[in-house]
Structure 1
Amino acid sequence: MVVGAGIGGLTAAVRLAVGGHRVTVCERAPEVGGKLGLLTRDGFRFDTGPSLVTMPQVFADFFRETGDRLETVLDLQPLDPIAHYRFGDGTTLESCADPFEFRRRVDDAFGGGAGADWAAFWKRAERIWAATYEPFLASALDGPRTLARYATRLRDLAAIAPGRSLRGMATAYLRDPRLRQFVERYATYTGSDPRRAPAALASVPYAELAFGGWYLRGGLRRLADALLARCAEHGVAVRTGTEVTRITADARGVTGVLLADGGRLPADVVVANADATHVYQDLIAVPSAARALRRTTPSLSGFVLLLGVRGRTPGLAHHTVLFPPGELPGSYDAEFDHVFGDPGRPVPDPTLYLSVPDDPAVRPEGHEAWFVLVNAARQGTGRGAVDWRTPGLADRYADLLLQRLAERGYDPGDRLLFREVRTPADLEARTHAVGGAIYGTSSNGARAAFLRPGNRSVVPGLFLVGGSSHPGGGLPLVTLSAQTVAGLVGPA
């Protein structure tokens, strides 16, 4: 039994079916995909979640090991640039997957030996990746005991620089504050604050720039469609519109699930592809796990604008990152003070992330589908939270973001046909992600990135998969999470 049909749940279901298990997936929404959402309007198709595929080898392994190869199922396109960056002083940089070319671009953009600085940082990031991939990303963790065992591997431990933050790592290698700001942005890939996130997260830019950024022709929603088809091929029963309200267990372990319509489905294994806090507080009472989660810092969320735009914008990249103008380059402090403050507050002048695929499948001819994302405090009250349900707040903030886009040279003006707004409250309502925290818990803190809720629960037969559990959020990591869970469950 799999609870939730996000990417982690679907890939886990397929792997378990390949292993001989009879698998049913229950999904409360009318469609599969979880946070990999889709909005269609007036001939436009908007991905409402991830807009970039990284680590394509993870998906290649999955499709090869479960049936037809990736390239026969999905049209994966490499991006160059992966993203176009514009810093506060107007300097621009285009990221790419060729390390030598990227070093040249860094030198051209910043001068002053920035390319050599980047090369030294890149070498350290590569060491961190090598030290962490197998034991921390592609394997199950056993809480603090895993870190204790890892501490005996002194060279690997030295590589990940325990006790140093991502900002500290960037500062140690990179003299140019704009280049430090570039690195610090990657903390948001785990919903974290670069001032508190561990230096080990240098592996995040390494993975993106080493293996490239990719786009799925037709939109990333195609991945969920392909996984649903793969489920059908292997006899997985996928029940949408079916909400699980309780995971049942006895002294020996899980026994099944209860449904909102009063039904019950028996199971000797339950894989929960749901927010870990929701699982341990609402679906099954595990007080020790719930207490541990309350001691963590929840991840940030996102505020999204989906814009239907008439006409074409010359020179617009697939991904554009616009740092606030007039701000001291490299200073992310104001943004993260707002997002993680007590209480959290909407960021008045945030970094703007703009995704505009040049793909006829997602827009009418002669138009553009704009996805605009900013970092945002999660839904709620208190530290790191904003009540996005406050009447008028979402529309006022959407107006402000359109103003900020215009100030930075990306004004749709009278070309704007419509806008759709998605707040952290909307994400919470749609996916049961508590507070709309995209990644469950953040990586804020020296050990936080390595101590996420484990894939194997203390309840026999209960396993967790997805962005709020080990090894973390993002399409490749939740796919690795599913691989780990299938290995823990074993063949039928």
Structure 2
Amino acid sequence: MARIVIIGAGISGLAAAARLATLGHRVTVCEAGDTFGGMLGQLRRDGFAFDTGPTLLTLPAVYRDLALKTGREPLEQLVELTPVDPESRHLLPGGTVLTLPNASRGGVAQALDAALGAGAGERWGAVVNRGRAVWEATRRPLLEEPLPADPRALATDPYPAAPRRGLARLLGPGAPTLDQVAARELGGDPALTALLTEYALRFGFDPRTTPAGATVLPYMEQSFGVWSVGGGLRALAEAFYRRCEQRGVEFRFGTPAERAPRGEVLLAPGPGEPTAPGRFGVLLALRGARPADAVQRTVLHADDRTAELAALFDAVPRPYPRPTVQVLRPDDPSLRPDGQHEAVTLTVTVPSQARFDWTAPGVAEAYADQLLAWTDSAGLGLRERVLWRVVRTPADTERETRSPGGAVPRPALAGAGGTLLRPANATGTPGHYLLGGGAHPGGGLARAGMSACVVAGLVGPA
């Protein structure tokens, strides 16, 4: 039996602790803050509750496996899981409204044809099929196994070449970026381009430079579905904290740690990316019942995609006033005081604290005002219903989770010469491993659970 010290009680730390304790190790988790969960925080006030980090779950199989491997109860007995349907509603430039079903690629094609015209679904489906080829090529080495000793194979984009016809033949050779996929294979259609590149933008990638293999992101979401957790995603952290306690894991809160004593195995967070984008959130406590036609996730796309990308990724970063906004409206009675109120969250990908000073006087509140004006212009009618609001910036994320710059950890992607891979879990120093969003296989709730699984496999049973 090894004595194992895990730095950080985020979801990856909880998952690793539960797995290693089940394997017979003596596990201590040191957390600098006063609670567990990391990014899976929650704000409660006046009967309202808001997740302050991720709000929806993809690839629930990761946490189903964690539940079964660390205890008798399946995940569905630990938390209430509900498929989100429809998966999302998109308010596109020009006034087009597109509603997509959950985990139904055929249904997505039909919705695209209905909203954008015959043939849109076929073009989209062809691109997502190539995303499936990326998934099949990278699932094991990029997600489920330790990073190979020679990762050069993952430095090459596995996106399969599409047929080149007509004007697409003039767009240049070589492995395409996500933007080039939109131009070559989606015909440059503004609505399909906005839909495709929103997946990259959500994870903090610039679609102008991100490899085409990022088409794996819409493939995964549209194939495996999106789920909500009753009580918010904080409930997932609470469930696995209880599982850790059942397995005898010791927690030490208010305990910063950098290294373990001699003879102990250390699991530490991977290095962050301070200049990667972060998230700006506005938590809205609203008077009035949730509208009957509301959906859980509405995506209001930017009025000018080119200007939005320039504001976010180019030399002088700034918050774009009419950006791509996710409007999250969970239909969960436990998150509101009663049926005559609604809890709504706006989230936007923005420059990190390392690239833009969100603490400057008035900046955050002024941007929240702009976002409410922008969503009202799309007919959502939120501003007039606001009882109170809480504004959250990358500076808050940095302070609460110690994520450098408040940047949200990004998933690893193949291609781009290996620059989008994350550091390996095994550091080369005996007894020292990296896990979490800053390490292989990268950020996002599902990948955090995968990182814990990989590290537990490297450590092995007691």
Shared fold (TM-score greater than 0.5)?
yes
AA aligned to 1:95 is: L
Q: Distance in 2 between matches of 1:149 and 1:306?
A: 39
Deviation string, structure 1 residues 444-480 (Cα, Å, up to 9, x no partner)? 9713465211111133221111111111111111100
Which residue does the alignment assign to 1:272? 268
AA aligned to 2:453 is: Q
Which ranges of structure 1 fall in alignment gaps of 5 or more residues? 248-255, 257-264, 278-292
Q: Distance in 1 between matches of 2:414 and 2:196?
A: 16
Q: Distance in 2 between matches of 1:60 and 1:105?
A: 31
Change (3 A) 1:149 1:371: closer
Which residue does the alignment assign to 2:441? 471
Which ranges of structure 2 fall in alignment gaps of 5 or more residues? 163-173
Contact 1:86 1:323 in 2 (8 A): yes
Which residue does the alignment assign to 1:361? 334
AA aligned to 1:308 is: A
Which residue does the alignment assign to 1:18? 22
| Stretch of structure 1 that moved more, 94-103 or 228-237 | 94-103
Contact 2:358 2:393 in 1 (8 A): yes
Residue 150 of structure 2 corresponds to residue 172 of structure 1: no
| Stretch of structure 1 that moved more, 89-98 or 358-367 | 89-98
Please report how far the alpha carbon of residue 89 of structure 1 lies from its aligned counterpart in structure 2 after TM superposition.
0.9
TM-score (norm 1): 0.85
Of the three residues 177, 194, 202, the one matched with 2:215 is 202
Q: Distance in 2 between matches of 1:456 and 1:309?
A: 47
Which residue does the alignment assign to 1:32? 36
Contact 2:411 2:441 in 1 (8 A): no
Deviation string, structure 1 residues 270-299 (Cα, Å, up to 9, x no partner)? 1113x514xxxxxxxxxxxxxxx7xxx832
Change (3 A) 1:78 1:353: same
Contact 2:134 2:159 in 1 (8 A): no
Which residue does the alignment assign to 2:450? 480
Contact 1:36 1:49 in 2 (8 A): yes
Change (3 A) 1:390 1:226: same
Change (3 A) 1:485 1:268: same
Of the three residues 23, 31, 46, the one matched with 2:50 is 46
Instruction: Name the SS for the 2:416 alignment partner.
Output: coil
Q: Distance in 2 between matches of 1:104 and 1:158?
A: 25
Q: Distance in 2 between matches of 1:37 and 1:444?
A: 30
Deviation string, structure 1 residues 192-215 (Cα, Å, up to 9, x no partner)? 111111111111111111011100
Contact 1:190 1:472 in 2 (8 A): no
Contact 1:308 1:370 in 2 (8 A): yes
Of the three residues 299, 305, 311, the one matched with 2:276 is 299
Change (3 A) 1:449 1:132: farther
Which residue does the alignment assign to 2:366? 396
Instruction: Name the SS for the 2:57 alignment partner.
Output: coil
Residue 100 of structure 2 corresponds to residue 95 of structure 1: yes
Which residue does the alignment assign to 1:228? 241
CA RMSD in angstroms, aligned pairs only: 2.1
Which residue does the alignment assign to 2:91? 86
Contact 2:146 2:425 in 1 (8 A): yes
Q: Distance in 1 between matches of 2:159 and 2:408?
A: 30
Contact 1:160 1:200 in 2 (8 A): no
Which residue does the alignment assign to 1:188? 201
Of the three residues 89, 96, 104, the one matched with 2:110 is 104
Q: Distance in 2 between matches of 1:396 and 1:457?
A: 44
Which residue does the alignment assign to 1:337? 310
Q: Distance in 2 between matches of 1:363 and 1:231?
A: 29
Which residue does the alignment assign to 1:372? 346
Contact 2:426 2:433 in 1 (8 A): yes
Which residue does the alignment assign to 2:376? 406
Please report how far the alpha carbon of residue 142 of structure 1 lies from its aligned counterpart in structure 2 after TM superposition.
3.8
| Stretch of structure 1 that moved more, 161-170 or 438-447 | 438-447
Change (3 A) 1:379 1:158: closer
Q: Distance in 2 between matches of 1:158 and 1:440?
A: 19
Contact 1:137 1:471 in 2 (8 A): yes
**Matched residues, percent identical?**
42
Please report how far the alpha carbon of residue 320 of structure 1 lies from its aligned counterpart in structure 2 after TM superposition.
0.6
Deviation string, structure 1 residues 88-111 (Cα, Å, up to 9, x no partner)? 111111222111111111110111
TM-score (norm 2): 0.91
